[in-house]
Amino acid sequence: MKHISTLVLLILLAAPAAFGQGKGFSLGVGLQRTGSTIDFEEFGGEQSEAGFGLGITAAYGFSNLISVFLTLDGSDLDGASLGHADLGARFHFRAQEQLFPYAQVALSGVSITDEEDDEEIKFSGGGLTIGGGVHYFFNPKLALDVNLAFTGGQFTTIEVDGDEIDGLDEVDMTTYRVRAGIMYFFNRR
């Protein structure tokens, strides 16, 4: 594994012109399909839901290879609201003149809110997100952005009608998001 990591690092350092999105700011918006699996041991077991939502992304490219991003999104999962806030890094590669794949990793805040028996129940916590995607440029500044992200973590806070519940175990959760949208790159030429 050490040799593979060293080889990848050497390739990245030796061929910077073959990579990149460029420096500067970018903004994007997209529609997404979202799914979640939550292990509610104290609430009757595992529960899986899926739905649709909307996400926005702001990013800043420090180099042709690395950018940081903030994504905020929300989805409706059969009446429950699921939200993510991701702060992470993307590692960009150039496959063709217009095609730029990327890998990403992020720290994520996740919350889900639902109503049951006229009570609002909110689970919130954090996790790690990994994923990737591709930018396909229509012109030098506007790109189609297709992205897949997986988040794993735990809900550490549970509230019922705004009051935090003590003494409950942390709740394991995983989510996925498949997003398609557009990204505008302000400084790209």
Sorted by sequence, the CB contacts under 8 Å of residue 97 that are 6+ apart come out as none
Q: What are the backbone dihedrals phi and psi of residue 13, each rounded to the nearest 5 degrees, phi first?
A: -75, -30
Written as one letter, the residue type at 30 is G
State the CATH architecture for 21-185. Beta Barrel (2.40)
User: Which 3 state secondary structure label does DSSP give 19?
Assistant: coil
Counting residues of the chain whose pLDDT is more than 90, the rounded percentage is 60
pLDDT band at 169 (very low <50, low <70, confident <90, very high): confident
Which 8-state DSSP code applies to residue 1?
Answer: -
The confidence score (pLDDT) of residue 8 equals 46
Q: How confident is the model over 40-50, as a mean pLDDT?
A: 76
The confidence score (pLDDT) of residue 44 equals 66
Q: What is the pTM of this model?
A: 0.83
Q: How far apart are CA 63 and CA 20, in angstroms?
A: 7
Q: What are the backbone dihedrals phi and psi of residue 65, each rounded to the nearest 5 degrees, phi first?
A: -100, -40
Which of 35-39, 70-74, 97-101, 137-141 is the most confident on average? 70-74
Q: How confident is the model over 76-94, as a mean pLDDT?
A: 93
pLDDT band at 84 (very low <50, low <70, confident <90, very high): very high
Chain centre distance of CA 119: 29
The confidence score (pLDDT) of residue 121 equals 87
Q: How far apart are CA 151 and CA 137, in angstroms?
A: 27
Taking 60 as the threshold, does the pLDDT of residue 21 lie above it? no
Sorted by sequence, the CB contacts under 8 Å of residue 168 that are 6+ apart come out as 42, 158
pLDDT band at 90 (very low <50, low <70, confident <90, very high): very high
Q: How far apart are CA 89 and CA 61, in angstroms?
A: 9
Tens digits of residue pLDDT in 104-138: 999 999 999 988 888 898 989 999 999 999 999 99
